[in-house]
Structure 1
């Protein structure tokens, strides 16, 4: 049997999502993890709205929603207080009027449980994570990569293998062999602060809230893993000098907690993991070299001396956890790379398409690093948590405005459209624009049927581009259908969206599906009318690749994307 086509080294959220995207594209995958056990701990628990949209397209959202809870409100206390003081609220969102966003607010879910759900999804596709398997070296050639992998069993016995793959993706950190052999720069800065982090069982505080005590220079926060869990992640800064450079013991943390809070009515159970975090605000300068890629980010660098079974990896982009962007940026890395890699591997796209992965993601990551660093400095300098601006997040952090403006494979024939220097800004105006996330729309019914209503997100799929045709008549549709007929069915799906009460006439057979916009959400949300033809090309990762008005525009877009 031939080996899998793609080797993924690292089984955090990035590697798991990448594996899911590739498998749903029919690309075989092997995913390895050097640890003997799956990582534990709540760690990155915030799942932003844009990630929820991607999970909807992937078909895994219901399990995440079942386990997730709304992002909690912060309860702020003065020392000794039982009842919280008036405190800042973590932000919530609402659907922008010009678009249709199904999930304006994020969810909170323990990363440990999050990864378990993703592994369960992999199992359904007959793929599982290989624990105790470490990539030790690799060599790449024009048509394959040779990977040397060392497998360690529970008894410590090691077996070395050398296996060929078409592609290699490293998602296991800046100190991984992929980073080392590629010689990547890791640009940025290291902060002076040392912050204690960990998970510990707590009795006496409400898990539906975050809890904060600020006694300058000390800041202590407890964040529950879920609205019903008694396991809280803690963050503690401003520790005494003799405790500052190493992970605290459980007893040291508890004594410091009582000293800061005056709350000896709160008691503690076992500590799952504890670590010392020194903020590193860094990113790589490229994410591809030939047949080898890197992906994924983390707010954590390796601790100076980890303890209690903690595993805090380095990453392609390291940043402050303030703002909850890390895991979510990693998911977007995986979705961007996975769709492109699948197209190239299946011979549907030119190899040059893979260069746009790094081009598009580096710009977004650089902006994310800037935003989270600014939030970090507001929180940990000057007045810190006492400053209301330290808690101001804004709707941009829900990531619904993340865009690929300026990308070589984004095309729009409207003058001046799709231009933005801000990788997190929302599109101006009320009309859908290329480079931005495609909005959802509900209330769509297959024309001429009594089927239950569906949504655009149910139509999109990670294995192909979706062509949405709005407006126009049979005379305008025919040339478009002719052009679309040249593209492989495995790469492009065509959907005609007709207004409420309209029929598809004689051209309905030209398309993969005809959907009637019975609720009006699609035309209104996309800012389009029935009078003029508009073709919206949605990429496999849910990003609008092109907005054009004729067959020639479609050809110009796909000249950049497909062979």
Structure 2
């Protein structure tokens, strides 16, 4: 059996998403995890609207939505009092639209999230190798030599040396790959004290409502949170660490909870997971070293406030995956991979600033003794935190005109604007194929190819011709007809014709029907170019393909 082309070290969400993208694109992958069992624990629970959109294209959205719940309110209590001081809405409900069908985040325990991704990966015949640790590696001109130690269930170990074209490290904040590469990880700790996070079963609620966050505070650095997902027996908890260099026991947590909340009517079951945690804000100096890449927590760590962490990690993989697939298949040059670092670092840098500021507000709110001043700023979400405005303006592989290519805030959500290069490609429903099948843009998009949307008077045949000798499977050319167009249309080889029966595509992209407009959508559902004709498409292709 031939050696896979890509080794992924670390099987958390970012590693799993990367593996799915690559195998969907026909790239052979080996994904290893040094732990001997899949992790448990709620951990990163927020899944933002932009990530949900990408999961729709990846093919696992239905399972994610079925397992998750919508964002929950937060209630703060005085010790011993069952009625809350206040109840804060973390985020106002945003009505979905044809262009933004997933407009609200969901909550999902990370262990469930990862199982869904593993199931999706297994559908392509690829599974995670547990108990396999990347000990060291050497880079060469055209390959990477990896030294792997595999430990079986009985504790027996076996050493192995294998050769791969590429190595991607998604092995967490203490990444051994990042350290071996000598890549700096500058930043700072964000709080003076450590906190404990974990999962525990609540057997008697004593009036606590399911599907909510519950918060008690009894002075500076004396607080406790209990959060219910609503669908799962475990409740996630957070409190200060009581003793250094020790892990809180179930009995210690329960007694601490009672001492702060004075709610001894709440009864607990088993504690399934617990960990000490101290928020830090760090970003790697580079996300690439020749044939080795880092992504997820190996590349950046930050405050959990705002629910950006897991989402930023998987979005690293959405950015890297399609580019690595193109280079590995020979459709693009190695230089395309430099854009991974160039596009993602500005996004992460702004994300670090946003989440650190939100953490500061959270600490101030926890320690505040004046309830009249509590305006719930620390709980406010929405807008930029939904990540719908994350963009790659200024990227060398984006083609646009005027302001669309100028560097701007990496998080800048401005709903209602016309389609712009470097920003997300909106969805649209009410699209009907020639055979009468109804579809959406997100179901036409694919992580394995570019989608070229041809609007107005633009010539679809010339767009197909502009692709030249590039592999046709890497593109889908879609002619978007206005809603008032008749059903009978000329068939063009290599072009999928759809009718915008409700006008959502033209309205959402704000494109006049009497103008020639071509929108090139990258595999990661980012608009690579907005151009007027096939020559513009050719100019974009020169930036990405050989």
Fold conserved between structures, TM > 0.5 = yes
Deviations 1:73-122 (A, max 9, x none): 1122111122323221111352698x810100011111011111111111
Match of 1:150 in 2: 149
Match of 1:399 in 2: 387
Cα pair 1:537 1:544 within 8 Å, conserved: yes
- 1:380 equivalenced with 2:363 (yes/no): yes
Match of 2:427 in 1: 440
Q: Measure, in 2, the Cα distance between the counterparts of 1:387 and 1:450.
A: 52
- 5+ residue gaps in structure 1? 298-314
**Alignment equivalent of 1:348, drawn from 297, 314, 331:** 331
Secondary structure at the residue paired with 1:425? coil
How far 1:466 moved relative to its partner?
Answer: 0.3
How far 1:320 moved relative to its partner?
Answer: 0.6
- 1:538 equivalenced with 2:525 (yes/no): no
How far 1:192 moved relative to its partner?
Answer: 1.5
Q: Measure, in 1, the Cα distance between the counterparts of 2:139 and 2:366.
A: 51
Deviations 1:190-218 (A, max 9, x none): 13121111111112133311111122212
How far 1:430 moved relative to its partner?
Answer: 2.3
Match of 1:227 in 2: 230
Secondary structure at the residue paired with 1:466? strand
Match of 2:447 in 1: 462
Cα pair 1:201 1:269 within 8 Å, conserved: yes
Q: Measure, in 2, the Cα distance between the counterparts of 1:250 and 1:428.
A: 46
Cα pair 1:95 1:104 within 8 Å, conserved: yes
Secondary structure at the residue paired with 1:426? coil
Match of 2:436 in 1: 450
Match of 2:377 in 1: 389
Q: Measure, in 2, the Cα distance between the counterparts of 1:381 and 1:83.
A: 22
Q: Measure, in 2, the Cα distance between the counterparts of 1:384 and 1:421.
A: 36
Match of 1:335 in 2: 318
How far 1:488 moved relative to its partner?
Answer: 1.9
**Alignment equivalent of 2:412, drawn from 401, 417, 425:** 425
Deviations 1:274-327 (A, max 9, x none): 222112111101111111001013xxxxxxxxxxxxxxxxx3211110000000
Of the structure 1 ranges 283-292 and 209-218, higher mean CA displacement relative to structure 2 is found in 209-218
Q: Measure, in 1, the Cα distance between the counterparts of 2:308 and 2:431.
A: 32
Q: Measure, in 2, the Cα distance between the counterparts of 1:402 and 1:546.
A: 16
Aligned residues between the structures: 536
Match of 2:465 in 1: 482
Of the structure 1 ranges 377-386 and 249-258, higher mean CA displacement relative to structure 2 is found in 377-386
Q: 1:547 to 1:461 in 2, by over 3 A?
A: same
- 1:211 equivalenced with 2:214 (yes/no): yes
Deviations 1:248-272 (A, max 9, x none): 2211111110010010000111111
Cα pair 1:152 1:158 within 8 Å, conserved: yes
**Alignment equivalent of 2:399, drawn from 392, 408, 411:** 411
Secondary structure at the residue paired with 1:11? coil
Match of 1:40 in 2: 40
Of the structure 1 ranges 188-197 and 356-365, higher mean CA displacement relative to structure 2 is found in 188-197
Of the structure 1 ranges 521-530 and 76-85, higher mean CA displacement relative to structure 2 is found in 76-85
How far 1:143 moved relative to its partner?
Answer: 1.1
**After TM superposition, which residue ranges in structure 1, 4 or more long, deviate above 4 angstroms?**
382-385, 503-507
How far 1:504 moved relative to its partner?
Answer: 8.3
Cα pair 1:478 1:507 within 8 Å, conserved: no
Give the alignment's TM-score, normalised by structure 2.
0.94
How far 1:135 moved relative to its partner?
Answer: 0.1
- RMSD of the TM alignment (CA)? 1.8
- 5+ residue gaps in structure 2? 369-373
Q: Measure, in 2, the Cα distance between the counterparts of 1:458 and 1:519.
A: 17
Match of 1:306 in 2: none
Cα pair 1:436 1:544 within 8 Å, conserved: yes
How far 1:528 moved relative to its partner?
Answer: 0.4
How far 1:66 moved relative to its partner?
Answer: 1.0
Cα pair 1:194 1:245 within 8 Å, conserved: no
Q: Measure, in 1, the Cα distance between the counterparts of 2:405 and 2:382.
A: 22
Q: Measure, in 1, the Cα distance between the counterparts of 2:307 and 2:460.
A: 44
Match of 2:167 in 1: 168
Q: Measure, in 1, the Cα distance between the counterparts of 2:270 and 2:287.
A: 40
Give the alignment's TM-score, normalised by structure 1.
0.92
Cα pair 1:498 1:504 within 8 Å, conserved: no
Q: Measure, in 2, the Cα distance between the counterparts of 1:420 and 1:92.
A: 30
- 1:128 equivalenced with 2:97 (yes/no): no
Q: Measure, in 1, the Cα distance between the counterparts of 2:360 and 2:350.
A: 16
Match of 1:303 in 2: none
Q: Measure, in 1, the Cα distance between the counterparts of 2:170 and 2:148.
A: 15
Cα pair 1:187 1:285 within 8 Å, conserved: yes
